[in-house]
Amino acid sequence: MDDDPSFVYQLHHPDSVNDIQYITRDTFASGGSSGNVRLYQHTSAGQLEGKFVWEKIHKFIGGTCPCTALASNGDQIASVGEDGKLVILNPSQERISRTIESVGGCSIYAVIYVRASEVLTANMQGHLKLWDLREDQPSKATLISPDQIAVCNLAAHPNQQHIVASGGEDGALTLWDMRNINQPITVIAAHCGSITSVKFHPASPEHLFTCGTDGQILHWDASANARPSSMPFKNNREPSGSSISVWLTSDVAQGIIDTTSIIPPSPLPINSVDIEGSVLIAGSDNEAVFTIRNVFL
């Protein structure tokens, strides 16, 4: 088929890639297992070229330390690692803009921007910390689990970034309203193993996708909560903007969300998931990339 993936270009990466984040349409950053963050650019010839590298911005005394996750707001890159550091980088400068040491004193697994100057981090002890980059200390902090279950990843709602979804090591999908972090909106037992990726649909954010070490890819559809339950909702879009608050409804708070398994469970973990339009892609431990077309929204 004409729209099947095809090999375009290959560029050697010196260490394992733990995360990739696009900054603009033409530039992206990679976080590696050696604690380095590298900046790459697409060329007009359809190739990739390395622009520069921020070396060992994550490190332990006497050894290397992996960068675990990256985030970008278009002007900055936020990098976190197993050393517990939050590092802010400017894509146009080779020097580090800012380093916040030991964010919580343990490994950080996830980071996202919730506003231009606010970054949310999640660590292995189950803490979510909201940082105002204009200040020296976190503006807010909360504990996601009394059992201190690690938070593996985060996703911000594409239209209202104060709505955040997190995936836990215990397989729990948790939804937060960052304007009121005394308690989450809801906690759902979603997967039988760690959740490895959480993703809101960029154009239809009433739809959420998760994958995990249990080999499942799940589609969470909260669109029914935006209209009376007696009305059909599949393939029937809400007016623009009406889905923004759907995750804050009482039904969602009670865990009432239509859930569908996208593929039969894989015997190996599904490590990442992304979606654009009606096409979903996912990467697996069996070195396969799944492409699912015509995802039913």
Please report, for the domain that includes residue 89, its CATH number. Answer: 2.130.10.10
Half-sphere exposure of 69 (CA within 13 A, CB side): 24
pLDDT at 204: 94
244 in a structural domain: no
**Predicted local distance difference test score (pLDDT) of residue 227:** 54
In a domain, 163, yes or no: no
| pTM for the full predicted model | 0.88
Structure confidence at residue 187 (pLDDT): 92
- 218 inside domain: no
Q: What is residue 182's predicted lDDT score, i.e. its pLDDT?
A: 80
Residue 245 is predicted with a pLDDT of 74
Residue 82 lies in a domain: yes
Is 32 among the domain residues?
Answer: yes
Quick check: is 182 in a domain? no
Which pLDDT value is given to residue 59? 92
| DSSP annotation string for 46-66 | S-EEEEEEETTSSEETTEE--
User: Does residue 90 lie in a domain region?
Assistant: yes
* pLDDT confidence of residue 155: 97
Contacts of 22 (CB under 8 A, 6+ apart): 28, 72
Distance CA 137, CA 132 (A): 7
pLDDT along the chain (297 residues), means of 10: 74 93 96 97 92 94 92 96 95 93 82 93 90 80 77 94 94 92 89 97 96 97 70 40 71 92 94 95 92 89
- The whole-number pLDDT of residue 143 equals 75
Range of the domain at 66: 8-143
**Residue 242 within a domain:** no
The pLDDT value given to residue 101: 82
Q: What pLDDT is attached to residue 8?
A: 85
Q: How many domains does the chain have?
A: 1
Beta carbons within 8 Å of 202's beta carbon, 6+ residues apart: 158, 275, 276
Looking up tokens 């400017």 gives: 90
